[in-house]
Amino acid sequence: MNSRQQQSLRISLWSALICALAMVVFCKPAVAQSSQAAGAGLQAQAEGGDAGAQYRLGKFILAHNPSPDDVQAGLKWLQAAAGQNNPNAEFYLGYLYEHGQFVAQNYALALQNYEAATRVHYPPAENNLGSLYQHGQGVPKNIGKALEWYLAAAQHGNAIGQMNLANLYCGGDGAARDYQKAVYWLRLAADTGLPDAQNNLAYFYFYGITLPQDYVEAARLVQLAAQQNLPSALTSMGYLYETGKGVRLDYVAAYNSYTRAMAGGDHTGAGHRKQLEHVMTRKQLDEANALSAASTPLSATPELANSWVQAECTAKGIFPAGALIGGQGAQHAAPLRRMWMLVGFEIEEGFIAKGAMENRASLRGLRSE
């Protein structure tokens, strides 16, 4: 290639780079314009009395770093939609009042809005009503009513409602224990891909409670949950790899799983991780630490930041606080209080989380739009 051709090639490459940069810079305002256009379109429909548009506009305003004036505007549109019995808006308002987002926390108003949404059998609202009754928030605590609402949500396909119902059937909060029903609803929730349910169902297989004891099936379920970075499931996987139950014995994988679970806030397996340090070689420890360093960082909290942004697909559910270490299946008849701890706890000390948490927005099947 002669010097003239080389110069021409350089010019062509620089021209292409400049054009590419220009396109990137140009695309940024296009996104903003698109958002503004969407807002303007919704505004026109909302002003025309379209309840769906009023709900979407209110949600749109609150989801984009609203100023105090914007907050009032967003709430106004949500209230307008709720005034037309839009269940999405009713549920969203109930969620905001329950959690004190943009409004003062008010369980009575949360209850009122959730109840309005349940008139059309809106599953997330049915589930959240169950939680209010279970924990006595805005109403006297009533486990019978909690069961009634969780059952309604579960029957309407809400995976978090199915989880909460299973919790109560395990004897949570003094409800009558029925492990067969608990397993039935956990299986349905697990089949939707809910990692908490997958991890909890594994408990029954691991200890042979109601189901035939099956370490391989327990490991399969735990692995599905661990693949979604559920900290308690990562602890469970660590224990399975450490003991070779349902999976091959693998200290490197066990150490890595414990480390990742601890990074996500579950320290139940910390003692087991410490013990592994005394039996693993330096090479194995280096390999395990390299795997952990290359893994996606986990948040120390299961809740999404700004989870209110997608409140129409949020609902409450049990968050398992631990994993498969140290429980004893023979003691499973004891009240289950913290939920599905198989690491470092006797079973009667280790079940059912105290409360229900907001469902992560990534969970499937909960949107009603």
Residue 123 maps to a domain: no
Domain total of the chain: 1
Let me know if residue 114 belongs to a domain: no
Q: pLDDT (tens digit, 9 = 90+) per residue, 126-173? A: 999 999 999 999 999 999 999 999 999 999 999 999 999 999 999 877
pLDDT (0 to 100) of residue 298: 65
**Does 225 fall in a domain?**
yes
Domain for residue 280, yes or no?
yes
Q: What is the pLDDT of residues 79-92, one digit of tens each?
A: 999 999 999 999 99
pLDDT at 6 over 90: no
| The predicted structure's pLDDT at residue 296 | 74
Residues 6+ apart with CB under 8 A from 219: 202, 237, 240, 245, 246, 247
192 within some domain? no
How far is the C-alpha of 142 from the C-alpha of 146, rounded, in Å? 6
- Is 155 inside any structural domain? no
**Residue with more model confidence, 340 or 58:** 58
Confidence of residue 41 (pLDDT cuts 50, 70, 90): confident
Position 148 in a domain = no
Question: Is 310 domain-assigned?
Answer: yes
- Give the residues across from 317 on adjacent strands: 357
Which single residue is written with the structure tokens 């019995």?
85
The residue segments making up the domain with residue 291 are 199-369
Interval 354-368: pLDDT, tens? 233 333 322 222 323
**pLDDT of 293 strictly over 50:** yes
Per-residue confidence band for 313, with pLDDT thresholds at 50, 70 and 90: very low
Quick one: which H or E segment has residue 356?
strand 356-358
pLDDT at 3 > cutoff 80 = no
